[in-house]
Structure 1
């Protein structure tokens, strides 16, 4: 994994929230709304629960893998119910 881009979207001066950033991984996957926060122990990064693919191709790849895993889990559950 290679971080290929980081953009600071907004800076804040007068609060614990210091900045909002976006980060792109391998020119394929972007994470928005990364928060830079100043806490009692210093500056830290808070990652959001939302992530978004950059291209339709990686979106399809992610969807295919997740759907395959879901179908496999359903099949495993059906098998365990029959036993």
Structure 2
């Protein structure tokens, strides 16, 4: 399986950085993935739905780490192109912490 297309829709919000749609093998589309600024940097959130109990549950997600990495790599590559077009850098975003998080320098 290959990611054959990635469409990135940048968002200017505090934690949410972009919505993403991907196409797999030119025949299956997954929409509403998100690039989010987390406490440890950027990550890709799979499409999810809020349940009646208030928790979110993934609608679609990779079943193994290899597939997750393939999807994330494709998304971050396209996201970086979008950032460059806007004059920003993926490396700078990946190093940033989410607003409200802190790093006191203690790694234990």
Q: Deviation string for 1:21-68 (max 9, x for gaps)?
A: 1000000111000100001100000011159xxxxxxxxxxxxxxxxx
Distance 2:12 2:35 in 1: 12
> Which residue in 2 is equivalent to 1:6?
6
Distance 1:6 1:18 in 2: 15
Q: Deviation string for 1:1-23 (max 9, x for gaps)?
A: 01100001x21223100000100
Distance 1:2 1:16 in 2: 28
> Aligned Cα RMSD in Å?
1.6
- Flag the structure with larger Rg: 1
> Which residue in 2 is equivalent to 1:72?
none
Distance 1:20 1:14 in 2: 11
- Flag structure 2 segments of 5+ consecutive residues without an equivalent: 48-58, 62-108
> Which residue in 1 is equivalent to 2:16?
17
Which residues in structure 2 correspond to 1:4-83 (within 5 Å)? 4-8=4-8, 10-48=9-47, 49=59
Distance 1:14 1:3 in 2: 26
TM-score norm. by structure 1 comes to 0.55
